[in-house]
Amino acid sequence: MIDIQNITKVYNTKNGKLTAVDNVSLSINKGEIYGIIGYSGAGKSTMIRLLNGLEKPTTGSVIVGGQDIAKASGAKLREARQKISMIFQHFNLLWSRTVEENIAFPLEIAGVSKADREKRVEELIELVGLKGRGKAYPSQLSGGQKQRVGIARALANNPEVLLCDEATSALDPETTDSILELLLDINKNIGLTIVLITHEMHVIRKICNRVAVMEAGKVVEQGDVLQVFQHPQAPITKNFVSQASGETQETQASLEQILANYPEGKIAKLTFAAATTEQPVISQMIKQFDVVVNIVHGKISNTTGGSFGTLFIHIDGEPKAVAEALSFLAKQEIQAEVIEHV
């Protein structure tokens, strides 16, 4: 559906050239939810503008639905954009129009008849869970309801691709989850390809099939979400995964305290698949290798590709017994990373 090949975007600024996107290649399959994550300044916003043709790459190609957006202009670009819709962090609704009128707006521009507009608007209001709110104005809606209007409006012209630019960043956690569930339902029910830009790994974990991690304009890591969570490679990815896995400042403080008080032991971060969670692996390890284990922190998280768990433990005992215990864990398909410092 989307094929990005070696795109680079360079801006000329008063301070010289600024490379916002640096030789990025991505392939996004039809019907999947693909996440692009990075902190502010990583190049995410430029990427999304390249995808919808608002920016032209300095080099490279952006193929959407078989058409190179980077080379299209005029009528061809307008035609290509009809396949691509977008929702925004701050909703971008027309405040003088009702919910129905906001959703109908792109249909009006496309020249759809009034009868067909009304039918389509009614379908979309039902789809996004706003039945009974069609006559309301944006000022009368909650943040989550406003974003639902934004989603309905984005779907009005039956796009093939939906771009989400930090679509949940202005919402509270509970509302964020409800909007993510809505996007997941839409993806499953109509097979819409969704590209989601965010700085929150929780959002990626919740609904994305695959993810690309951006830093300083480059993609530093990409792959299936479950794989990336279980085996993060880049330092920035490890940081994102730690946050999404609930590793709080209190967890870090506990690890530091144990490292200071028991320097002879080992702290290990265990990462395991869902099937392993039901096995008494830790009990077996303690019995077999004469080690003392203290559990510091643990959590099981869900992704669209399956569940995974993380567990921080402190292992104490004779060095040989500790080494054998860690080796035992590896044989149980549990990844054990020894933490030397926090």
pLDDT tens-digit readout, 115-145? 999 999 999 999 999 999 999 999 999 999 9
Question: What pairs with residue 165 in β-bridges?
Answer: 88, 197
pLDDT of 248: 64
How far apart are the C-alpha atoms of 138 and 92, rounded to whole Å?
10
Arch. (CATH architecture) of 2-243: 3-Layer(aba) Sandwich (3.40)
Tell me the pLDDT tens digit for each residue of 166-221.
Answer: 999 889 999 999 999 999 999 999 999 999 999 999 999 999 999 999 999 999 99
How far apart are the C-alpha atoms of 235 and 224, rounded to whole Å?
18
How far apart are the C-alpha atoms of 224 and 308, rounded to whole Å?
13
pLDDT of 61: 93
pLDDT of 274: 62
Total length of the chain: 342
Q: Where are the domains of the chain?
A: 2-243, 249-339
pLDDT of 7: 95
pLDDT of 276: 63
pLDDT of 267: 86
Tell me the pLDDT tens digit for each residue of 239-295.
Answer: 898 877 766 667 777 777 777 777 777 888 888 776 665 678 888 889 899 899 988
b/e 63-88 (16+ beta carbons within 10 angstroms → b): bbbebebbebeeeebeebbebbbbbb
Residue 153 structure tokens: 């409006």
Closest CA to 264 of 321, 313, 317: 317
Backbone phi, then psi, for 123, in 5-degree steps?
A: -60, -45
Q: Does the pLDDT value for residue 342 go beyond 60?
A: no
Arch. (CATH architecture) of 249-339: 2-Layer Sandwich (3.30)
Mean pLDDT score, 34-55:
93
Mean pLDDT score, 102-114:
94
Backbone phi, then psi, for 7, in 5-degree steps?
A: -85, 135
